[in-house]
Structure 1
Amino acid sequence: MPKHFVDMGREITRKCGGLPLAVKSIASLLRHETDEEVWREILESGLWEIKESKEEIFPALQISYAHLPAHLKPCFLFCSTYPKDYELEKMDLIRSWIAHGYIESRRNREITEIGVEYYNELKERSFLDDAGVDPEEDYSKLHDIIHDLARLNSENEHYSVEINQPLDIQEKTVSREVYHLYVGGSMGLGYVNRIPQENMKGLRTIIIDMGKYLGTWEKYFDPNLELMVDCQDSSKGVTLCDLTKFEVLRVLIMEWDSLTKIPHSISELKHLTYLSISSTHLKMLPLSIGLLYNLVDLQVDCNSLEYLPDNIGDLANLQFLCIDSGDNLKEIPKSLCSLTNLLELTIDSQFVDYVPHGLVNFPSITKVQACWKVRTIGWLKDMKDLKGMLCFQNLNYINNLEDAKRANLRNKCKLESLQLFWDYKDVFASTMDSQLKLKLVPEACEGGIVGTDDVHFSLLECLQPHPNLMKLLVSGYPSTIVPGWMRDPLLLQSIEELRLRSCGYIQSLPFGNLHTLQYLVIHQCSSIRTIQLEQLPSQLEYLQIWLCEHLELITGFGHLDMLNTLSIGRCNTLKSLTMDGLQLVESTEVFGDLSHEIPQINRQSISSLTWLSITSCGSLHLLPDWLIPSGPCDVLVRGCGCPDYRKSKKGF
């Protein structure tokens, strides 16, 4: 870096006053900036003299905010709708940003992907911090000072309040300047009911977060508050307040365990774009919800939900629909097929009993997360943009190959994972999370379809995926032959993970040298007697072989340069492991005493291994010396024909 940049950086750091958050904020702003004028503008900014806060850190933060790209500013300010120390879930934020039009659409880009970019950029610029929970769940927080910064720049448009006693209802007021309101606490409903209507007319967002508050506060209420609540009589439940006074509301979020009914007045929210409802007691949505013609996003998390309104198909602009109902929802209304603009559909109920015809009307859909019982799969044909994972169960019930062809898996170039179960009686549950899980049921109840090798071969051939597929699981395949696409590296050119389970008729590994393969699992393939690892790519990192009861020989370990995990278990007839195609000299009792009985020839080893497990292989009496990695490794040998052995990376 040129010296004058270094000098300016030191001077900017001095102006930060040694405050870590200030330095972090300015550094996040400048780390990709190569324009000298921008550096000089920040150094000489009048904002260093800001007097609006007693916090010394504020000038540096205000400069960072001033240089925040215009498209990120409203997204950042919206975060301050929530109270300090609130854990913000990534997709909840993005859905609200979309509803308010904060995210700029781009050609050939999904709007949620753009929202994720915005979210990540705010984190990179240190405006959002990790919340300290599971990083995979993607929660974030605003630092208290960052929260103050957002409130300072939002000009009173964002407001949050906690209401836990009657005095709070009287003392905490919402001004007409507030556009985005968060209400939490056990008495939040009473507070919302008492806000004057003239102060509600400008509200764009209402978040009612009463969580699990119920049954403990009825005695505190003044009857004059006109609350629609009876906490002592759970059969009467809790209903919402009148919604007609929210004339321009765009976002309504209700997290409220004791909510039992939504008033029909919700149909008056003509501008509502995003509706989120979370309750453990709500059993149905009102028919009036079908009048929310501008609704784009509907999220319902209600474990007791039993029915969807028949007119849900009238929501012509709906793009995102998520129904999480536990296992109570058994049927999908036919009108759902009218939602032709749907991009994402989630119905989280374990195997809905009835799926209507007409699902072919979703040509734009990219994500479906559901468990459905179906009789055909041909309706998948036009879902060419389907992403994520697709799982078929009970494929033995398919006897119409033309229907399987119509599913047209070859054109689904965005599909990442495919699971093919013939009977799903596999003792191993799938560990790859399924987004769309389809359980085939027979046309009649006469039982499963009994087919020949040719029938099952032809079916698997019809289910050929696009070459972009990254993960494939085949379970219960009842044939000795496999189609050519499984043997052709060009047709599986992106595959990274392969699992074969309960394929008892396959006699050898059915695929060629798949150059991208990193993860291989072989379970309960009882007809395989020899596994030749030479046909696998050298960059394979994970290999698991279990319950192959007739397996006798595994050759070619020396070919696997990057193998770090090897697990072999319950292969009772396995007798030999070799480095190359021809068996090399092996030693006995290598794991009994490492100080002797190791031949001095062939000291080559699998140096990349970090985990080695060989268990319950009773016929394996000889273990090669090269199997012990020279570097740190966890080793477990137990229940084999040789002595047990255990080694830890830590040396014990």
Structure 2
Amino acid sequence: MGGIGKTTLAQLVYHDDEVKKNFDFQAWVCVSEEFDVIKVTKTIIETITSRSCKLTDLNLLQHDLKEKLARRKFFVVLDDSWNEDYDAWNSLLKPFQNGVKGSKILITTRSKKVASVVQTVPPHELSLLSHEDCWLVFSKHARLSTDSMQNTTLGKVGRNIVKKCNGLPLAAQALGSLLRGNSDVKYWNHILKSEIWEFSDDRIKVVPALRISYYYLPSCLKECFVYCSLYPKDHEFDKDELILLWMAENFLQPVGKKSMEEVGDEYFDELVARSFFQPHSTREKIFVMHDLVHDLAMIFGGDFYFRAEEVENTVEVDIKTRHLSHNAKGNYPMSKLLGVCDKVKHTRTFLEVNLDWGIPFNMENAPCILLSQLKYLRVLSFKCFPLDSLPDSIGELIHLRYLDLSKTYVVTLPESLGNLYNLQTLKLNGCSNLKILPAGMQNLVNLRHLDITGTCLHEMPKGMSKLKGLQFLSDYIVGKHEENKIKELGALANLHQSLSITKLENVVNSNEASEARMCDKDGINSLSLWWSVDKDENTVDSQIERDILDKLRPHSNLKELQIRGYRGTTLPDWLGHSSYHNITKVLMGGFLSGGFRNCCMLPSLGELPSLKHLKIKGFERLGIVGAEFYQNHDSCVETPFPMLETLWFESMPCWKEWRSLEFNAFPRLRKLTIWGCPMLTGDLPNHLPSLKYLDIRNCEQLSSCLPRAPAITKLCLLHSNNVRILELPPLLHELLIKGKNLVEAVVPAIKNTQLSCLTSLSISDCSSHILFPLSSIPASVKKLRISSCRNLEFQIEGQHDSLHILEISNSCDFDFTCYMKNV
């Protein structure tokens, strides 16, 4: 049964802290009615790696997944499964046989036959809620305390409403959300006695409680909700993208001085509050819609919305259709859809959904046909089309407000694009072949969102300052010509969210930088400033560079700051100033050649009161990290870095000393990473009370003891052979050691320390002769890996009950791997 709580129960298990501790990784995949082995396999790989997977061959995908599952204990949820084909399931589950014993796959389904096909243990069947439990769900979402509703008229009416939910939690949740915060007894009685409860139609199999929830939506929210019927079930909705689509369709009604985007944000939040959307299990700002709620949207979309998905579908395109979508993963051929476009010439929307980037598409002329027939489009998405050019006829779509060409192969865009005076949103995200934008871009006076992330533009087109309505601009590439220099940013006063300014080497002096008026842009919360690699960097005037960065000072509302490739020797005073009370993340340096090659001093970042994450990379001339890092010499900060949780130093070849001084710094630091600092010799901060993860790599001269950090659970020491290990932290869960001296020090420490929490131990790269009996390993260890320790004398005797993985490679004169309990 739908809406009974299968997914909710699976989510509780998935996010449970104890469950997380027992698995190497977790993955959540929504399978849905469209059972695609390739798609599901790709999703699992992407969840494991946190990267896009471009493989399309099933054999290659399964081999890749098998490799990633090897020697790992996993927990995977396959949610909302419908397919009853044994062979298909057998194909999907093959790679999972490579995991460690104890791995789990949890499947939710409405079908008993699916359960019988896949089960290895008896299924857990959910039943309808009792009246009392249903009442608790209703009360929670109505946000009226149970006590205040006991034995009151309101409470009695509420309980009668709950009876009509028939024990279905989704219905109780929807009605509770509908009545949230409303204590008007008359209104509650009106809901209770609504004739919609009695409405009956065999064609409309929707829970009455959901129909009522829709009926009492404000009209502005109804059309926003029904618009979602253009997407298939289990679609993952991006909140920001959906708001832009609503705006293009003119669904958002202005309220006072609020922008349309702000109104859209309120609309979306209200639909979430009323349980029409639910937050994604693992991804921020992504939402899903329950199947029954999606059915509701489909019903009320009627003839005005058509989703071309199944060719067998008895529903045909109606002349009244105004919104079209095509599901590339369905069985409805594009050729069939194009054949009926002349029937629906007044269509406002064409969306291609579920087309994967790089998948072959057999209708190369589809864009030309669509543009010639659908002249009244407001929304057009060719996202992921194998499109290398856009027809000139795009300029004839004068009503167009939303155009998405993301992840296409376009190299240039036609000049006719400048005729789209009503265009509000232009998405070019991931168009890696795109080198230049049309000169007529300055004519798009109604443009509000321009996303050019992932393009390779050489510079911005001229006259960007004329686009005064821009709310979002992902990147600005500074040019050398008068009409595309950085001063063009000055007129764009309404920019919000994130902005990246690149090719800052084209800024000649501080006067140019000040004309960008960055300090006035109070809507920017994330700012990236990039200088490109300059072969003549030695000729750079350091003072001019400092003055330019000084004039690029952002507004104090900033939350995230990233600077790469800065060429000066010193930094301006605003970096690290306590007035930036909202900054939570700072990245200085970055990719290859993105560091601070000339800078020899860090700013006073310890004064940022909200800073949580700090990464410093590529300061090639920095020799000492001292008092200036913690506070300005005129300051009297008692606790530097009061909120910092992660601190990362990397690629600093001249750094020799870290002067921690007498500060109560880093009270909340959880993770400290130091990579590639070969000259560092001095002490680390001696007391880090909240530190849980310490990772030191390729710091050959570092001779410090480990910090006093009683909370450490993970320790990685790689090729940092002089680090002194006097004792190991007692709460250690994971220990990774690489290098001769380190192994020599750690093995005795393991023997002599009570490490009752240690579950994973890995040691490698040691040529010394060391005796290491299995009996000396803590009983809690589940994974033991030994590699490149040729003279290690490893003695296996008896049983080690908790050990799941024992892997020995290029060590002890033999190689083997065991994946079993009771090795």
TM-score (normalizing by structure 2): 0.61
1:16 deviation in Å? 1.1
Q: 1:362 to 1:182 in 2, by over 3 A?
A: closer
Asked if the contact 1:293/1:316 (under 8 Å) is kept, the reply is yes
Q: Percent identity?
A: 27
Partner of 1:200: 344
SS at match of 1:468: coil
- Corresponding residue for 1:621? 703
Alpha carbons of 1:408 and 1:263: their partners in 2 closer, same or farther (altered >3 Å)?
A: same
Contact in 2 for aligned 1:497/1:519 (Cα 8 Å): yes
Letter in 2 for 1:328: N
Indicate how the Cα distance of structure 1 residues 53 and 504 shifts in structure 2: closer, same or farther if over 3 A, else same.
Answer: same
Residues in 2 aligned to 1:196 and 1:354: alpha-carbon distance in whole angstroms: 38
Residue 174 (str. 1) matches residue 317 (str. 2): yes
Cross-structure match for 2:440 = 335
**Correspondence 1:560 to 2:705:** no
Q: Distance in 1 between matches of 2:195 and 2:544?
A: 77
Partner residue of 2:395 out of 260, 277, 290? 290
- Corresponding position of 1:540: 644
State TM-score, norm by structure 1: 0.75
- Give the secondary-structure state (helix, strand or coil) at the position aligned to 2:586: strand
Distance in 1 (alpha carbons) for counterparts of 2:392 and 2:492: 29
| Alignment partner, residue 683 of structure 2 | 576
Does structure 2 conserve the Cα–Cα contact (< 8 Å) formed by 1:352 and 1:373? Answer: no
Are the counterparts in 1 of residues 161 and 192 from structure 2 also a CA contact under 8 Å?
Answer: yes
What displacement does 1:449 show?
Answer: 8.0
Structure 2 equivalent of residue 316 of structure 1:
421
- The partner residue of 1:265 within 365, 372, 375 is 372
Confirm or deny: 8 A CA contact 1:89 1:140 kept in the other structure.
no
Change (3 A) 1:328 1:153: closer
Q: Which residue of 2 aligns with 1:642?
A: 723
* Contact 1:396–1:450 (8 Å) recurs in 2: no
Distance 1:528 1:395, change over 3 A: farther
Task: Assess, with a 3 A threshold, how the Cα gap between structure 1 residues 142 and 178 changes in structure 2: closer, same or farther.
Answer: farther
Native 8 Å contact 1:29 1:64 kept in 2: yes
Q: Contact conserved, 2:347 with 2:377, CA < 8 A, in 1? A: no
Distance 1:202 1:26 in 2: 37
Query: Match of 1:521, as an amino acid?
Result: K
Is 1:378 matched with 2:525? no
Residues 1-21 of structure 1 deviation map (CA, whole Å, 9 limit, x = unaligned) = 322244443332222111122
Alignment counterpart, residue 149 of structure 1, candidates 296, 301, 309: 296
Per the TM alignment, residue 621 of structure 1 is displaced from its structure 2 partner at its CA by 3.1
3-state SS in 2 of match to 1:352: coil
**Residues 1:529 and 2:655 are matched in the alignment:** no
- How far did 1:29 drift? 1.8
The answer (yes or no) to whether the contact 1:186–1:213 under 8 Å persists in 2 is: no
Q: Which residue number in structure 1 is paired with residue 748 of structure 2?
A: none
1:86-165 alignment, distance < 5 Å: 86-91=235-240, 93-129=242-278, 135-136=283-284, 138-143=286-291, 145-154=292-301, 156-164=303-311
Q: Which residue is equivalent to 2:583? A: 495
| AA partner of residue 15 (structure 1) | K
* 1:360-439 alignment, distance < 5 Å: 360-370=465-475, 372=477, 374-375=479-480, 376-424=485-533
- Does structure 1 retain, via aligned residues, the 8 Å contact 2:351–2:379? no
SS at match of 1:321: strand
Contact 2:417/2:441 (<8 A) preserved: yes
Q: In 2, Cα distance between the equivalents of 1:107 and 1:121?
A: 18
The residue that corresponds to 1:248 in the other structure is none
Partner of residue 211, structure 2? 62
1:651 aligned residue: 758
Any idea what the Cα deviations from partners look like across 1:548-604, whole Å, max 9, x if unmatched? 33332331563322222222333333321344xxxxxxxxxxxxxxxxxxxxxxxxx
Instruction: State the one-letter code of the partner of 2:496.
Output: K
The 2-side partners of 1:194 and 1:21 are apart by 40
Counterpart contact for 2:576–2:604, Cα < 8 Å: yes
Deviations 1:308-347 (A, max 9, x none): 2212222222221123573332222211112122111123
1:135 aligned counterpart, secondary structure: coil
1:397–1:449: 8 Å Cα contact kept in structure 2?
A: no
- Inter-partner Cα distance in structure 1 for 2:308 and 2:418: 36
| 1:65, distance to aligned residue in structure 2 (A) | 1.8
Indicate conservation of the 8 Å contact 2:530/2:564, yes or no. Answer: yes
Alignment-mate amino acid for residue 486 of structure 2: I
1:503 maps to amino acid = F
Q: State the alpha-carbon separation in 2 of the partners of residues 82 and 396 from structure 1.
A: 44
Alignment check: 8 A CA contact 1:329 1:349 kept: no
Q: Distance in 2 between matches of 1:454 and 1:519?
A: 29
Cα displacement (A) at 1:264? 6.2
Alpha carbons 2:351, 2:381 under 8 Å: kept: no
Quick check: 1:466 aligned with 2:555? yes
1:326 to 1:195, Cα distance in 2 relative to 1, 3 A:
closer
Contact in 1 for aligned 2:357/2:384 (Cα 8 Å): no
- 1:577 maps to a residue whose letter is L
Determine the structure 1 residue equivalent to 2:194. 45
Give the secondary structure class of the aligned counterpart of 2:252.
coil
* CA offset digits 1:222-257 (Å, max 9, x no partner): xxxxxxxxx9xx7xx6424xxxxxxxxxxxxxxxxx
Q: CA deviation at 1:399?
A: 2.8
Give the secondary-structure state (helix, strand or coil) at the position aligned to 2:227. helix
Report the Cα distance in structure 2 between the residues aligned to 1:355 and 1:530, rounded to whole angstroms. Answer: 39
Distance in 2 of aligned mates of 1:202 and 1:333:
28
Please report how far the alpha carbon of residue 462 of structure 1 lies from its aligned counterpart in structure 2 after TM superposition: 2.0
Hey, what's the Cα distance between the residues in 2 that align with 1:472 and 1:214? 33
Conservation of the 8 A alpha-carbon contact between 1:424 and 1:475: no
Name the aligned partner's letter for residue 489 of structure 1. Answer: S
The one-letter code sitting in structure 2 at the alignment partner of 1:609 is L
Higher normalized contact order (CA 8 Å, seq sep 6+, divided by chain length): 1
Which whole-Å CA distance do the structure 2 matches of 1:51 and 1:406 have between them? Answer: 66
How far residue 72 of structure 1 moved from its aligned partner, in angstroms, is 1.0
Specify the SS of the correspondent of 2:372.
Answer: helix
Q: Mind listing any 5+ residue stretches in structure 2 that lack a counterpart?
A: 1-144, 590-594, 632-639, 735-756, 760-823
**Quick one: distance in 1 between partners of 2:643 and 2:430?**
43
* Partner deviation per Cα, 1:410-436 (whole Å, 9 max, x = no partner): 2222222233344448xxxxxxxxxxx
SS in 1 for 2:209: helix
Change (3 A) 1:404 1:201: closer
Contact 1:83 1:161 in 2 (8 A): no
Of residues 352, 365, 387 in structure 2, which corresponds to 1:239? 365
SS at match of 1:389: strand
User: In structure 2, what is the Cα distance between the partners aligned to 1:288 and 1:135?
Assistant: 38
Pick from 698, 713, 732: which aligns with 1:633? 713
Q: What whole-Å deviation, never above 9, does each CA across 1:436-491 have from its counterpart, x for those lacking one? A: xxxxxxxxxx956823332222222222222222222334434443323235323x
Query: Matched residue pairs, number?
Result: 558
Residues in 2 aligned to 1:409 and 1:620: alpha-carbon distance in whole angstroms? 41
